[in-house]
Amino acid sequence: MILECPECRTRYLVPDSAIGADGRTVRCASCKHSWFQPGTVLDLVARAEAEPQPSVTEPSPKPSPQPSGAPAQVYAPSPPPPQMAPDPAYAGDDDDYDAFAHRAPFRPRRNPARRWTAIALGAGIAMLIGIGVLLFADAPGLIARLGIPLAEAETPLRLVANKPDRRDLLSGSQLFAVSGKVVNPTDTRQSVPDIRAELRDPQGRLVYNWTIRPDATVLPPRGSIEFNSAKLDVPVNSKELVLSFSGATPR
């Protein structure tokens, strides 16, 4: 039986008994491709028709004797037909390799795109959970530091600011100090947001601003907390100080 690999078209000459009547899975020694080779079906009728039928022929006349001086004719037997064998160039490097051993026809390939999609989906879910925890914990100051835009509700807290203190230092720099306190006029605990300080020129235009973080993040009912902050070398054309809570409209 001659087997031909459907992938690389390499041919092999194997005995019929190696495949059997039921067939078996074989593997190419050249390209490692596996396929199922069906067994041979013995068609007795076709073989009987293919065999030559004996025929009754008349006896051939005896050859006439050749002259005594003529040479005798010698007929050499015809050579046997060539046998097909696998090309040695495609033989495997492993001496223990069996081209007809049973192996899976293919191996499943990994899909890297599916893996990266799952990683991105997991990272997105983790980010949403983290933002939800921040919102549930009521941490407006931390959310503002992370740069997440969040519209804050109007706070009932009140700002009481002292008169700003502007003085010249011996080093030649000018110090601008701000102080005051945050008051909780309600009967419930309130979260303390950051304080935004703005300096404006005589025309009301913003020339400088910074953020003041109070020492406490929660005020008890009817409680208060002091704050203070100082900056060096603020613009000389700043005439008006405006204090407000972060996220609220300056007043």
Q: What is the pLDDT of residues 16-65, one digit of tens each?
A: 777 777 788 888 988 988 888 887 755 445 555 656 655 555 555 555 55
CB 180 within 8 A of CB 227: yes
Residue 251 included in any domain? no
Does 127 share its domain with 40?
A: no
pLDDT of residue 152: 47
Mean pLDDT over the full length of the chain? 75
Residue 94 has pLDDT above 60, yes or no: no
pLDDT of residue 18: 78
Does 23 share its domain with 103?
A: yes
Q: Which tens digits make up the pLDDT trace of 73-87?
A: 544 555 665 555 554
Residue 96 included in any domain? yes
Does 213 share its domain with 187?
A: yes
Of 107, 122, 146, the residue at which a domain comes to its end is 107
Does 116 share its domain with 194?
A: no
Does 215 share its domain with 180?
A: yes
Residue 193 included in any domain? yes
Pick from 212, 222, 218, 221: nearest CA to 242: 212
Does 86 share its domain with 116?
A: no
Does 96 share its domain with 169?
A: no
Residue found by looking up tokens 């407006």 in the block: 140
Residue 145 included in any domain? no
pLDDT of residue 146: 55
Does 218 share its domain with 162?
A: yes
Residue 250 has pLDDT above 60, yes or no: no
Residues in the chain: 251
The least confident of 6-10, 16-20, 175-179, 211-215 is: 16-20
Does 29 share its domain with 86?
A: yes
Residue 91 has pLDDT above 50, yes or no: no
Instruction: Count CB atoms within 10 A of the CB of residue 49.
Output: 9
Q: Which two tokens stand for residue 39?
A: 């067994």
The span from the CA of 177 to the CA of 188, in Å, is: 31
The span from the CA of 198 to the CA of 33, in Å, is: 77
Does 204 share its domain with 128?
A: no
Q: Amino acid identity, residue 150? A: L
Does 180 share its domain with 213?
A: yes
Instruction: Count CB atoms within 10 A of the CB of residue 245.
Output: 20
CA dihedral for 245, 248, 249, 251, sign (positive or negative): negative
Helix (H, G, I), strand (E, B) or coil at 146: coil
Give the domain range for residue 164: 158-245
Does 6 share its domain with 91?
A: yes
Q: Which tens digits make up the pLDDT trace of 180-233?
A: 999 999 999 999 999 999 999 989 899 999 999 999 899 999 999 999 999 988
Residue found by looking up tokens 């030649």 in the block: 172
Predicted TM-score (pTM) of this structure: 0.40
Pick from 197, 188, 191: nearest CA to 154: 191
